[in-house]
Chain A
């Protein structure tokens, strides 16, 4: 299957029990493949933002957006243009670092990638790296050489750049 460009869907939803279940259940039932999904609060009370990324073809993504917009709690949903939006992911990586020589190499890379060490132990480092998925992947590829013990990623959050927004002023607007 052809690999498509990364596509980002941003949805504002009512923060009610079961909404995430409805969203994920629909994604599963309609057979859409998603790369990441994140949920978090927004500037408004009781409204959460769900950010979904996928590598589906454009028609499939359009259908996903249409199906999701049928869920009543989905107040607003749109696809973000990756070239015209800010999007970030955070990864925590525990890297094996026993020898001091290795350790200094790792710290060099950390500086280059503007990552941070957030925990140090005798045998390992926990590193936090934030950025676009490509940057994180590049950093991970480098760390593989040192031995990744474990890793966690947040999935992508995104906002459109400039004045454009996915926001709701009137909760009935859709």
Chain B
């Protein structure tokens, strides 16, 4: 099949079973969009025209996380490509399979500082698993296949494909690529080594107070069933990282919720009191462990991760298991069963129950500032939407309120920028998730500061008919920074007051979406219930007090015991 480079890219994407591309065309990608034209008309592919390339990248990421397959975004050379960078960095930090296709100036112009030229391969190399520049059309089939293979195997992550404009015009004999090889990259089986499983089980049998810490890797490897099975067998309570929310249903009796800087009391205290930590698909991030030096000093640690470079990176461990989370958890459970371990109620179960009881009063209380309290808002949202609804978040207080008080019941239904913490992520990610799962309600819990960074893509939501619901936690401040200023800077609120923010309901209406402002819990409840099956994008403006904090909080660098409950 004799094709132009541009058509070859489109064919190669179809060979990868791509259904949706999020992007914005530009000078260098005109031939690519020309090749897309018939496909889009024929319905072979869907293109979502974003209003900002950053949003296109976040949409592809939200799509990837909701569906568990690679998401694809595209932008033109120069500013289009650089606008993708934040989105690519988010995907990199959260190990999400995103394939970004960028146009580049023609080969003869590369290096000449041509119009709209940027060295995107150089820029993206540190924030991708791999950044390719295609130098001739004949490389297209293999390179596209390689990009998807890299993005979606082992530890997943973003891959960039940079294609010069004249390569799109160059002709190529197109044949679907076979298996490709990229250097020494090997797709791992993910099977744990039997010896490491044996050693890990040895520690598990000795342990009196085990705790499982589940990270994003558990969600990425679809290991919920295996995690719950192991936790029930031992039995061991399960704390999660922010990225691990959804690894276990948070109403499960063994679930302790999120641990870390803004973690729940029972999760943090369990981590402090445990004599064995089984860390799965997580990287001992500073936000999760508090003090790197002191975390886990009284416990043995088993660390399961698919990426060998994570072992020992942040914390020394006793038993490393380099494996896929699902396979490792299954192997541990199977070995326990082979050995005939009977679960028993023990002191540790009692202690966990005691901790849960101790902190429940704090979580259940409705005390707070202002008429609408964030934790109650989160609980109302949970009670009004189906279990399988997907929730995305912005970054900041809104994100931590959601993490603390919104119970996630199914995997891949909580999508947040955990590693990079990129404000503006929630709304475009919600659009990507909705495109991936059109039959599920999708709610974006956002802050006013976060939402204002990407709200222009309400235009996309309206035009492309992607009905997600955004709850704007509207406190007219950059709340998380303000909270730190309050607690650590002697209330010197330097540049965190947004002053006057737009009327979010009217803003939504200006775009052709629906806007609702609520003042009471019952109005909030009505608005949410009405939004569940809505066919237009909705923005619900939820006023909250600027003095409402995210609590409890472990001050940075402190141990998880040194938690502050009142600020």
Chain A residues with CB under 8 Å of chain B are: 13-14, 18, 21-22, 25-26, 29, 59, 62-63, 66-67, 69-76, 168, 171-174
Contacts and interface: CB of A to CB of B under 8 A. Distances in A.
B184 A63 contact: no
A63 B312 contact: yes
B44 to A, nearest CB: 31
Nearest to A64: B309
B85 to A, nearest CB: 15
Contact of B150 (A14, A59, A69, A72): A72
A70 B305 CA distance: 14
> Which 8 A-B residue pairs are closest in the complex by CB-CB distance?
A72-B183, A66-B309, A174-B184, A72-B185, A73-B183, A75-B184, A72-B182, A29-B126
Contact of A74 (B122, B150, B183, B307): B183
B500 interface: no
A72 B182 CA distance: 6
B130 A72 contact: yes
Contacts of B125: 18, 21-22, 25
7 contacts: A29-B126, A67-B309, A69-B308, A69-B309, A70-B307, A72-B185, A75-B183
B186 interface: yes
B530 interface: no
Interface of B: 121-122, 125-126, 130, 150, 181-186, 307-309, 311-313, 316
A25 B309 contact: no
Contacts of B308: 66, 69
A172 B309 contact: no
Given A63-B309, A63-B313, A72-B130, A172 B186 contact: yes
B182 A25 contact: no
Contacts of A13: 183
Classify the secondary structure of A's interface with B: mixed
B178 to A, nearest CB: 15
Given A18-B121, A72-B183, A172-B181, A59 B312 contact: yes
B184 A171 contact: yes
A174 B309 contact: no
Contacts of A18: 121, 125
Contacts of A70: 307, 309
Given A66-B311, A171-B184, 13 more contacts: A26-B126, A59-B312, A63-B309, A63-B312, A63-B313, A70-B309, A71-B183, A72-B130, A72-B183, A75-B184, A171-B181, A172-B181, A173-B184
A67 B312 CA distance: 12
A76 B184 contact: yes
Contacts of B150: 72
A22 B181 CA distance: 18
Given A21-B125, A72-B130, A72-B150, A14 B309 contact: no
Contacts of B186: 172, 174
Contacts of A67: 309
A73 B312 contact: no
Contacts of A26: 126
A73 B131 CA distance: 12
Given A22-B125, A25-B126, A72-B130, A172 B184 contact: yes
A125 to B, nearest CB: 41
A149 to B, nearest CB: 36
A21 B122 contact: yes
Contacts of B182: 72-73
A135 B146 CA distance: 47
Contacts of A168: 184
Nearest to A19: B183
Contacts of A76: 184
Contacts of B185: 72
Contacts of B130: 72
Contacts of A73: 182-184
Contacts of B183: 13-14, 71-75, 171
Nearest to A77: B184
A66 B181 CA distance: 20
A73 B308 CA distance: 17
A62 B181 contact: no
A77 B517 CA distance: 59
Nearest to B308: A66
Nearest to B181: A172
Contacts of A75: 183-184
Nearest to B121: A18
A174 B308 CA distance: 13
A13 to B, nearest CB: 8
A36 to B, nearest CB: 22
Nearest to A13: B183
Nearest to A75: B184
Contacts of A74: 183-184
Contacts of B307: 70
A156 to B, nearest CB: 24
A14 B130 CA distance: 15
B292 to A, nearest CB: 13
A13 B309 CA distance: 19
A17 B532 CA distance: 52
A62 B182 CA distance: 24
Nearest to B185: A72
Nearest to B130: A72
B313 to A, nearest CB: 6
A32 B183 CA distance: 24
Nearest to B182: A72
Contacts of B184: 72-76, 168, 171-174
B150 to A, nearest CB: 7
Nearest to B307: A70
A152 to B, nearest CB: 28
A67 B310 CA distance: 9
B111 to A, nearest CB: 12
B301 to A, nearest CB: 15
Contacts of A171: 181, 183-184
Contacts of A59: 312, 316
Contacts of A62: 312
